[in-house]
Amino acid sequence: MQTTTREHRFGLALRTWRTRRRVSQLELALRARTTQRHISFIESGRSLPGRAIVIRLAEALEIPLRERNVLLASAGYAPVYTETSLDDPSLGAVREAVDRVLDGHNPYPAVVTNRYGELVSSNRAFTTLTQGVTPVLLAAPVNVPRLLLHADGLASRIANLGEWGWHIVDAVRHQALRNPDPRLEALAAELADMVPAMTAPTQEYAGFAVPLRLRWGEDELRLLSTLTHFGTAVDVTVAELRLEAFLPADALTSALLTKLDADTVRAQTLRPA
């Protein structure tokens, strides 16, 4: 029986990531400031790189921090990147920054999620939009893509569910393909079952992007979404945070969101303590 050595395990893992990223050995060598010969020796199991080289290779391939720890372990090294709970005092500055961004985005909706789309925090405007959603979908942990596309969530209010919903499904699928994870793959399959088959695109774009068209009473909100993350994070938890902020695609939406937020603030002010 042939025993798989640490060198071969690491070499296979590196080749798998390089292939997934569609990067040649020469390109990886240039990115990681080494030689193609060295990369070839590593992938064939003839050489085991030092920890610093492993980290450089992972950075060059844009491997997420969680998976970088796994790659380090396959080479026999201890994890480098910590995974700290958001409740930990050491992440107080991160929580404060997130809260400031969310609060500053009012009266427009915004949420912060983890890598699985689970809600970490949201602002007042987003909470307003979830009025009437079944309580089950709002029970922790709240999955934001599921909340948006579920029939008992916001799906019944989305005028362009087929077109916009598939953008959500495709984004989760792309993430699962780029960074394989059974939970992401299962989420993508679940969301795909919620979205109706899409016919020809409507071309009702806001000049450059597909807006979320959300019915609100007799009006319709047209929202564009943007994604932001901590680009220089060295903690797994922080690196996996995603801020999704919705912006109005027209003046009517801006005015309606402003009014809704003012009504919410007024109601909170008048509510008995």
Does the global pTM surpass 0.75?
Answer: yes
pLDDT at 205 over 70: no
Q: What is the CATH code of the structural domain delimited by 6-74?
A: 1.10.260.40
167-179 average pLDDT score: 93
Give the bridge partners for 228, in sequence order. Answer: 243
**Domain locations in the chain?**
6-74, 89-270
Classify residue 264 as exposed, middle or buried by CB count within 10 Å of its CB (0-12, 13-18, 19+). middle
pLDDT one-digit tens code per residue, 209-258: 789 999 999 999 999 999 998 888 899 999 999 999 999 999 999 999 99
pLDDT at 138 over 90: yes
CA distance 163 to 17: 32
Angle between helices 65-74 and 51-60 (to 10 degrees): 140
pLDDT one-digit tens code per residue, 184-198: 999 999 999 999 886
Nearest to 61 by CA among 178, 175, 177, 227: 178
CA distance 62 to 242: 17
Counting residues of the chain whose pLDDT is more than 90, the rounded percentage is 85
Extract the tokens encoding 73.
Answer: 């372990």
Q: What is the CATH code of the structural domain delimited by 89-270?
A: 3.30.450.20
pLDDT at 208 over 70: no
7-27 average pLDDT score: 96
